Amino acid sequence: MYKYGTKVGIKMNLYTVREGDTVYSIARAHGITPALLLLANPSIVDPGLLPVGAELVIPEKAANALEILVNGYAFPNIAQDILRRTLPYLTFLSIFSYEVGADGSLPVIPDGPLITAAHNAGVAPVMVITNIGEDGGFSSELAHTILSDTQVQETLINNVANKLKAKNYYALNVDFEYIFPADREAYVRFLERAVTRLRPLGYDVFTALAPKTGPNQQGLLYEAHDYAAVGNLVDFVILMTYEWGYTYGPPMAVSPLPQVRRVLDYAVTAIPPQKILMGMPNYGYDWTLPFVPERPAHTVSFEQAERLAREANAAVQFDDQSQAPYFFYTDDSGDRHVVWFDNRQSVRARLALVDEYGLGGISFWTVNRFSIPGYEQLASMYNIQKVISV
């Protein structure tokens, strides 16, 4: 009989897989989350396919574990095997994205397979709209065109409502970034219109906000995001607590703990903490040294970073201040590099902030890569709340 491996220290019983069983059905029958079941059985490759006769560990649900909401952003091109492995760790799947037209129109995107997979796994699919322009970047001008014309907004909200119903979405996530400071109040009014129209139809409204440390923080990314006004309106706020280390910036941790704390210190004074989903990066960066602003860093997954360190025989160090790992290596051309990424220790340090600040949960950007340290730490620390059933 095949037996899955077990995690040390988990109180458990055993269950033999029967015809038609899935991770989702077994977890539901035993009153635990799929994520906890996967944590106890790390050899499971596909949560939807289990060999009949396999022996699973059924862990006991921790009575004192906090239940939190978990959002994951996904691009439509996510590999189906990665999607299936990831869904047990999520409450919401935010599909990125519908790029809004200047006339309030919405494009066609291949989101159908993701929506179906989410529903089949008991995960709520969330429609994301963005002000991404034709050049592929967030457009201040496009946001201004929409926010300065109430008829365009009505058209957009009508199109959104129709799409939510036709596609069987659970909620809307408005991710408008780099809004002109002069459009600050207009953005709040637009969100108010969206909430007023969609909430009576049964749809929650999310929004994503830049990582501010105070109400008057300067900069195009920050000024139009009014934490207090927006937090009062919407159901959930996703704080983008990452990108301190970024593609064209100097080498540093992507999500340093002190900077994340500064954002949360302010955020919980302006937004009800239970509405806040703290952003969690699912990537790191590889910089060529010496740092040159015009030379971009390369994105790496956590697994790629660890593999690179092993292959280069590089010593992984841990920065106690930022609570993040990093290492140096020399490539085949003789160029020196530094890589900042995340491991279980750094993920655990940030996840602990959810309990400390009383937050509603977290949001991964993105889940197109499978995050072993992220998901294992999540499932070991918290129970994952589900808002829809299979």
Q: If residue 275 lies in a helix (H) or strand (E), which one and from where to where? A: none
The rounded Cα 384 to chain-centroid distance in angstroms is 14
- Distance between CA 130 and CA 110 in Å, rounded? 16
Instruction: Supply the residues annotated as catalytic.
Output: 177
Take residue 212 and report the two structure tokens written for it: 């501010």
| Size (the chain), residues | 390
Any idea which residue has 């365009």 for tokens?
152
Q: Specify whether the CB–CB gap between 237 and 273 falls below 8 A.
A: no
Q: 92-118: b or e for each residue (b if 16 or more CB lie within 10 Å)?
A: bbbbbbbbbbeebebeebebeebbebb
Q: Specify whether the CB–CB gap between 205 and 194 falls below 8 A.
A: yes
Most distant CA atoms of the chain, gap in Å: 67
Take residue 16 and report the two structure tokens written for it: 């033999």
